[in-house]
Structure 1
Amino acid sequence: MNILRILLIFIPVSFIAEYMGAPQTAMFILSALAIIPLAGLMGEATEEISFYSGPRVGGFLNATFGNATELIISFFAMKAGLFDVVKASIAGSVIGNILLVLGASMLIGGLKFKRQTFNQQATEISSSMLLFAVIGLTIPAIFTHTVAPELLTTRYEGLSILVAVIMFSIYLLSLVFSFFTHRDIYSVDHSQESAAKWSLSRGILVLVIATIFIGVESEIFVGAVEPMSEAFGLSELFVGIILVPIIGNAAEHSTAIVMAVKNQMDVAVEIAVGSSLQIILFVTPVLIFLSLLFSPMSIIFNEFELIALIFSVLIANRVANDGESNWMEGIQLIAVYAIIAGSFFIL
């Protein structure tokens, strides 16, 4: 967290640079460096609030606000008409969480502990739900990619809204499942001696302030995406699927790795798989609903995004089978992510 505190200096620096009319490439870097510590503060605030709300509600808050940064960035990108960047960031978040975050957690945790275990039953449920969610994203895309273009009408856009409503409904039902009817499945003892460092009011205040500043920095960040992409010869697809998820979820990623080092793989796996699940079932439908205020956005991903998503989820299901992990599995997941990232880079 000390490094994140130091990075907070980039908040006023980015404001001054924006006021002075700095080049957009510089604004992209400065705003990204400002977003990372703000996301970290948001995660720390929700963690402190969890001491007062209880571990179950606290875990839900961590997952929700952990994705808030990307939701805010995606909202401003959608408002700017960068729909390809938004959809790429959705796919990139899922792929990054499952392959990069989970892989790094297994690798670094596995270097310290020969064999690590996690709640197999809970992870299998989450992984199966994730597979369903990806199927929900895949069906509309397969429909539009296989039907002759002249047969498509504007009515197919309503399919995205229908899928969004179904996914959001499943998300709400999953909360009932995990919080009430089957909460015993998710009960894991993470007893620890630590206590809250902040008061409840301070935690809420920091959470609100961090959210506001992330909104401001996200608008600056999104405004610099196109100029930066042109300056460095990067496709908007690469920016959306690789850079935006890494920047938006940097603090959450580091938390998963820290938990793995503490031999709390349940938490690390929950962050990786649970966050991916929330991206598809909560963030994506919310973005679809918000897009109706501007220009309706469809849930249509390109073929390579779909393939990468499907294989990533299949890997997550495979890892969840035995309820244990080691550093070699982490290497394999990271290697697959590197191949996917390299492929998007040359597009």
Structure 2
Amino acid sequence: MNPLFKEIRHSPLLWMLVFVPTVLVVEIIAPSAHTSLFVLAVLAIVPLAALLSHATESVAEKTGDAVGGLLNATLGNLTELIIALAALRAGEYMLVKASIAGAIVTNSLFMLGASFLLGGLRHRVQDYNRASGRLHAALLLMATIALLAPAAVADLNLAQGEAVSQKLSIGLAILLISAYALSLLFSLRTHKDLFVSANHDGKDAYGAWPTGLAVGTLIIVTILVALVSEIFVGSVQKAGETLGMSPAFVGFIVVALVGGAAEMAVAFSAARKNRLDMSVSIALGSASQIALFVAPVLVVLSYFIGPKPMDLLFWPGAVTMVMIATVTSCFITNSGRSAWFIGALLIFIYAIFAMTLYIVPPGVHAH
């Protein structure tokens, strides 16, 4: 435990861990103070993300960047899955769908772009294995096509439109989960030699924790993030109204950014250390995992825990933004090289989406 305590003592960011018990206590004492709970929950997730960052890097040091990236994406998406499940139970389907679409766009544009920018500011040109980027971009493209199908059916105005949409959605969910399972088999077993990290100059400077401590920290921090996420999702709607944000904006931007805080901390740190393979694996791996695993699982679980089954019918703007983000990431990762300006361009595209959604929220028909 000494490396963990030493890390906390010497990192001012980790002193913010005091907000974790604070938000849990405030939730018990003043459960109706939604805006305060919202702010405290965000402040509590930040240091937890930093701890998750170091622990995941320590595990990745033993497993390699590809598996490390997959591990971090899975743990990071667990937070987003818990946030979505809480919204699903409450019947907040707009928030669920907005958080799914937002997470895909945030990871493939903002997280990837910020990684390119931060890494490029320290290293003039960075190389990475483009096979990994191509794989995840292809998976995202397939998932986006799956999101287009329910929208096409909705435009037909069938007599049993809702029932048809739900049947199509559950079928698509099964196909997407199957495709994701096959992608894991392809990248981690049958063709894993294609996804070896690009060679970099020098070794990393951080001190890796012992594996036992790193894994234990991952488990405990993930549980704490889940608890804080429950409080976050319970307060985010009311806080959003107070702050003048629509449910779509809250889900698409706020939930996606807070839910992905842990992954972003690791991706940005890896990019600064010239380990761009890990950053790309986390950013695009997380986006494809949400599209091919988290979203379909939520559709299946909605039959058991939701007020009614959820479909994969997203409002047209969301599908358009996901498609643009997918095509952009496909185009950007084709070269296997990056510089800071490429990252800046990706962030600008994300900012355009955020500004548009804030000023012109989707109408009530988007439910």
Structure 1 residues 223 and 118, CA gap change in structure 2 (3 angstroms) = same
1:10 lines up with 2:19 in the alignment:
yes
Q: Aligned partner of 2:257: which letter?
A: I
Conserved? CA contact 2:69–2:285, under 8 Å = no
Conserved? CA contact 2:45–2:261, under 8 Å = no
Give the SS at the match of 1:321: coil
Q: State the partner residue of 2:314.
A: 301
1:336 lines up with 2:343 in the alignment:
no
Which region of structure 1 is more displaced relative to structure 2, 65-74 or 206-215?
206-215
Q: State the partner residue of 2:124.
A: 114
In the comparison of the two structures, how many residue pairs are matched? 346
Structure 1 residues 186 and 201, CA gap change in structure 2 (3 angstroms) = same
Q: State the partner residue of 2:77.
A: 67
Q: Aligned partner of 1:17: which letter?
A: V
C-alpha displacement at 1:79, in angstroms? 1.4
Conserved? CA contact 1:73–1:218, under 8 Å = yes
C-alpha displacement at 1:129, in angstroms? 1.8
Q: Quote the Cα distance in structure 2 between the aligned partners of 1:327 and 1:49.
A: 28
C-alpha displacement at 1:4, in angstroms? 4.0
Counterpart mapping for 1:176-195 below 5 A: 176-188=185-197, 189=199, 192=203
1:221 lines up with 2:219 in the alignment:
no
Q: 2:282 aligns with which of 261, 271, 286?
A: 271
Structure 1 residues 240 and 252, CA gap change in structure 2 (3 angstroms) = same
C-alpha displacement at 1:193, in angstroms? 6.3
C-alpha displacement at 1:54, in angstroms? 5.7
Q: State the partner residue of 2:4.
A: none
Q: State the partner residue of 2:365.
A: none
Q: Aligned partner of 2:276: which letter?
A: M
1:241-299 CA deviation, whole Å, 9 max, x = no partner? 00011111123213222222222222222221111111111211222222221222111
Conserved? CA contact 1:72–1:214, under 8 Å = no
Q: Quote the Cα distance in structure 1 between the aligned partners of 2:209 and 2:272.
A: 25
Structure 1 residues 162 and 251, CA gap change in structure 2 (3 angstroms) = same
Q: State the partner residue of 2:173.
A: 164
Q: Aligned partner of 1:41: which letter?
A: L
C-alpha displacement at 1:34, in angstroms? 1.5
Q: Give structure 2 stretches of 5+ with no counterpart.
A: 1-6, 362-367
Q: Quote the Cα distance in structure 1 between the aligned partners of 2:57 and 2:236.
A: 31
Q: Quote the Cα distance in structure 2 between the aligned partners of 1:57 and 1:214.
A: 22
Q: Quote the Cα distance in structure 1 between the aligned partners of 2:24 and 2:40.
A: 9
Q: Quote the Cα distance in structure 1 between the aligned partners of 2:150 and 2:125.
A: 40
C-alpha displacement at 1:214, in angstroms? 2.1
Counterpart mapping for 1:237-256 below 5 A: 237-256=248-267
Q: Give structure 1 stretches of 5+ with no counterpart.
A: none
* Identical pairs, percent: 39
Counterpart mapping for 1:195-234 below 5 A: 197-234=208-245
C-alpha displacement at 1:170, in angstroms? 0.7
Conserved? CA contact 1:40–1:252, under 8 Å = no
Q: Aligned partner of 2:95: which letter?
A: V
Q: Quote the Cα distance in structure 2 between the aligned partners of 1:36 and 1:111.
A: 23
Structure 1 residues 19 and 96, CA gap change in structure 2 (3 angstroms) = same
Give the SS at the match of 1:229: helix
Conserved? CA contact 1:51–1:195, under 8 Å = no
Q: State the partner residue of 2:330.
A: 317
Conserved? CA contact 2:52–2:221, under 8 Å = yes
Conserved? CA contact 2:99–2:252, under 8 Å = yes
Which region of structure 1 is more displaced relative to structure 2, 114-123 or 220-229?
114-123
Q: Quote the Cα distance in structure 2 between the aligned partners of 1:326 and 1:54.
A: 24
Structure 1 residues 277 and 15, CA gap change in structure 2 (3 angstroms) = same
Q: Quote the Cα distance in structure 2 between the aligned partners of 1:196 and 1:263.
A: 16
C-alpha displacement at 1:315, in angstroms? 0.5
Q: Aligned partner of 1:116: which letter?
A: Q
Conserved? CA contact 1:36–1:248, under 8 Å = no
Give the SS at the match of 2:304: coil
Q: Quote the Cα distance in structure 2 between the aligned partners of 1:61 and 1:71.
A: 15
Q: Quote the Cα distance in structure 2 between the aligned partners of 1:153 and 1:99.
A: 32
Give the SS at the match of 2:305: coil
1:121-164 CA deviation, whole Å, 9 max, x = no partner? 332222112211211122122322x1116451423212111111
Q: Quote the Cα distance in structure 1 between the aligned partners of 2:95 and 2:277.
A: 32
Q: State the partner residue of 2:95.
A: 85
Give the SS at the match of 1:224: helix
Structure 1 residues 70 and 3, CA gap change in structure 2 (3 angstroms) = farther
Which region of structure 1 is more displaced relative to structure 2, 196-205 or 160-169?
196-205
Structure 1 residues 149 and 225, CA gap change in structure 2 (3 angstroms) = farther
